[in-house]
Amino acid sequence: MSHFKSIFLLAVLLVLPGTLFAAEINRNILAVIDFSELKDESYNLIEKFAETPLNHLGFKVEYVDVSQYLPDDKEMTKYAGIVSWFLDNQLKGAPDYARWLTRQILNGKKVAAIGNFGFFTDEKGEETPNEVMDEFYKAFQISYDWHERSDSPLLIEVLYKDPKMTEFERKLSNELTNFEKINVLDKQAKVYLKLKRKDTGAICDAVFIHSKGGAVLSDYAIFLNPETFESRWRIDPFTFFAKIFGSDFPKPDITTINGVRMFMSHIDGDGIRNISDIDGKTPSGKVAYDEIFTKFNVPVSVSVVIGDLVLAQRGEREALFDTIRKIFALPNIEPASHGWAHPLVWDEKRRSMAYDLKGYFYSPQNEIGESLKYINEHLVPKGKKANLFFWTGNCRPDFDALKYVYDNNIGNINGGDTRFDSQYPSYTYVSPPFHHVGGFLQNFSADANEVTFTNLWTGPFYGFKYVVETYQNTESPIRLRPIDVYYHFYNMERRVSADTLKNIYDWVATQETAPVFISGYLDKLKGFLSSRIEKISPDRFVITGNSDLRSVRIDDYDGYVDVAASRGVMGFLSHQGSLYIHLDNGESSEIRLTKNRPATPYLAKANGEVSNWKVQGESVSFDLRTMGRLLFKLAGTKGAYDAVIGGKSVTLKSNERGEIFFSEPLDKIGFETVKISLTARRGGPI
Partner 1 sequence: MKVKWWHIALFVFFILIVAVVVHPTRLRLSWMLVKSGKPMEAIQNLTQIYSKDPKNYRAIKILAEALENMGRPEESMELFEKLVELKPTDENFKELARFYMWTKNPAQAKRAYQRWFDFRKGKKIGFTDDDGTEIVDNLYSLSLLARDYKSAIEALKVRRQLHPDQAHFIDNDMITLYEKAGDLDGTIAYIESLLAKDKGNVYALEKYMQLAPLAGKKDAARNVLIEDIETNPKDVAARKRFVDFETVNKELGAADEWYRKWMERSPTDQALKKEYLNWLLATDQQKPAIAFLEAVSEEERKPFEETLVRLYEWNNMKEKLVEPYIARFEKNPNDAENAKKLVWLLIDLKQYDKAETVLKRLVELHPGNSEYALALADIYQTKDKTDASIAVMEKAVQKNRDPKLLKQLGVLYLSAGENR
Binds partner 1 by CB under 8 A, chosen from 205, 421, 447, 590: 421
The secondary structure element, H or E, covering residue 73 is helix 73-76
Q: How far is the CB of 108 from partner 1 (least distance, A)?
A: 23
Pick between residue 420 and residue 622 the one whose CB is nearest to partner 1: 420
Q: Which of residues 228-247 bind partner 1 (CB under 8 A)?
A: 228, 230
Q: Considering the rule CB under 8 A, would residue 88 count as an interface residue with partner 1?
A: no
| Of 177 and 621, CB closest to partner 1 | 177
Q: Crossing angle, helix 94-106 and helix 130-140, to 10 degrees?
A: 30
**Beta-strand pair 213-216/222-224:** unpaired
Q: Mask 363-402, x = binds partner 1 (CB under 8 A)?
A: ----------------------------------------
Options 338, 465, 535, 575; binder of partner 1; rule CB under 8 A: 465
Report which of 289, 266, 139, 295 is spatially closest to residue 213, judged by C-alpha positions: 139
**Span of 140-148, 309-317, 403-411, 532-540 interacting with partner 1 by CB under 8 A:** 140-148
Task: Tell me the closest approach of the beta carbon of residue 571 to partner 1, in angstroms.
Answer: 39
Does position 174 interact with partner 1 (CB under 8 A)? The reply is yes
Our finding on whether 148 is near partner 1 (CB under 8 A) is yes
Cβ closer to partner 1: 174 or 649? 174
> From residue 263 to residue 282, what is the string marking binding to partner 1 with x (rule CB under 8 A)?
--------------x-----
Cβ-based nearer residue to partner 1, 367 or 421: 421
CA distance 35 to 499: 45
Q: What's the min distance (Å) between Cβ of 223 and partner 1?
A: 9
Distance CA 555, CA 576 (A): 9
- In the complex with partner 1, which residue's Cβ is closer, 199 or 407? 199
Kindly report the three-state secondary structure assignment for every residue of 264-325. Answer: EEEEECCCCCCECCCCCCCEHHHHHHHHHHCCCCCCEEEEECHHHHHHCCCCHHHHHHHHHH
- For 509, the 3-state DSSP assignment is helix
| Residue closest to 604 by CA, chosen among 622, 590, 628 | 622
Task: Mark the segment that binds partner 1 (CB under 8 A) among 94-102, 142-150, 384-392, 404-412.
Answer: 142-150
Q: Does 423 bind partner 1 (CB under 8 A)?
A: yes
**At closest approach, how far in Å is the CB of 488 from partner 1?**
18
Query: What backbone phi and psi angles, to 5 degrees, belong to 309?
Result: -70, -35
**Buried b / exposed e across 221-239, counting CB within 10 Å, b at 16+?**
bbbeeeeeeebbbbbbbbb
**Residue 456 binds partner 1, judged by CB under 8 A:** no
Q: How far is the CB of 277 from partner 1 (least distance, A)?
A: 7
Binding of partner 1 by 459 (CB under 8 A): yes
259 close to 606: Cβ distance less than 8 angstroms = yes
Q: Write out the H or E segment, with its range, that includes residue 371.
A: helix 370-378
Q: Binding to partner 1 by residue 122, rule CB under 8 A?
A: no
Nearest to 448 by CA among 481, 477, 478, 476: 481
Q: Which of 168, 164, 184 is nearest to 49 (CA)?
A: 168
Alpha-carbon distances of 50 from 53, 55, 166, 338, rounded to whole Å: 6, 9, 15, 30
| 462 lies in the site for partner 1, by CB under 8 A | yes
According to CB under 8 A, which one of 65, 169, 398, 499 is a site residue for partner 1? Answer: 499
Nearer CB in complex with partner 1: 148/548: 148
Longest dimension (CA), the chain: 93
- Mask of contacts with partner 1, 189-228, x by CB under 8 A? ---------xxx------------------------xxxx
Closest separation between CB of residue 206 and partner 1, Å? 17
Query: Which one of residues 460, 545, 559, 639 is an interface residue with partner 1 (CB under 8 A)?
Result: 460
Per CB under 8 A, the list member of 3, 5, 14, 130 interacting with partner 1 is 130
**Binder among 88, 96, 127, 290 for partner 1 (CB under 8 A):** 127
173 part of the interface to partner 1, by CB under 8 A: yes
150 is a site residue for partner 1 (CB under 8 A):
yes
Is residue 626 packed enough to be buried (19+ CB in 10 Å), middle (13-18) or exposed (0-12)? buried
Please list every residue from 552 through 571 that binds partner 1, using CB under 8 A.
none
Answer yes or no: are the C-beta atoms of 191 and 204 closer than 8 Å.
no
Q: Which stretch binds partner 1 (CB under 8 A): 187-195, 328-336, 420-428, 606-614?
A: 420-428
Stretch that binds partner 1, among 314-322, 459-467, 531-539, 560-568 (CB under 8 A): 459-467
Q: How many CB atoms are closer than 10 A to CB 496?
A: 17
For residue 489, which of 361, 367, 336 has the smallest C-alpha distance? 336
**Given the rule CB under 8 A, which of 33-41, 151-159, 301-309, 630-638 is the region that contacts partner 1?**
151-159
Taking CB under 8 A as the binding criterion, the range among 7-15, 152-160, 379-387, 522-530 that sits at the site for partner 1 is 152-160
* Contact window for partner 1 (CB under 8 A) among 42-50, 111-119, 358-366, 494-502: 494-502
| Residue 152 binds partner 1 (CB under 8 A) | yes
Closest to partner 1 by CB, 172 vs 674, is 172
Distance CA 129, CA 94 (A): 10
User: Which element (helix H / strand E) includes 344?
Assistant: strand 343-345
Buried/exposed code over 161-200 (b: 16+ C-beta within 10 A; e: otherwise): bbeebbbbbbebeeebbbbbbbbbeeeebebbbbbbbeee
Provide the total of helices (H) and of strands (E) in the chain, helices listed first.
Answer: 18, 41
Binding span for partner 1 by CB under 8 A among 141-149, 288-296, 370-378, 485-493: 141-149
Does the protein bind partner 1 through residue 157 (CB under 8 A)? no
Residues 163 and 170: beta-carbon distance below 8 Å: no
Beta bridge partners of 663: 631
Are 135 and 128 in contact by the 8 Å Cβ rule? The answer is no
Name the residues that contact partner 1, by CB under 8 A. Answer: 127, 130-131, 145-148, 150, 152-155, 173-175, 177, 198-200, 225-228, 230, 277, 421-423, 455, 459-463, 465-466, 469, 496, 499-500
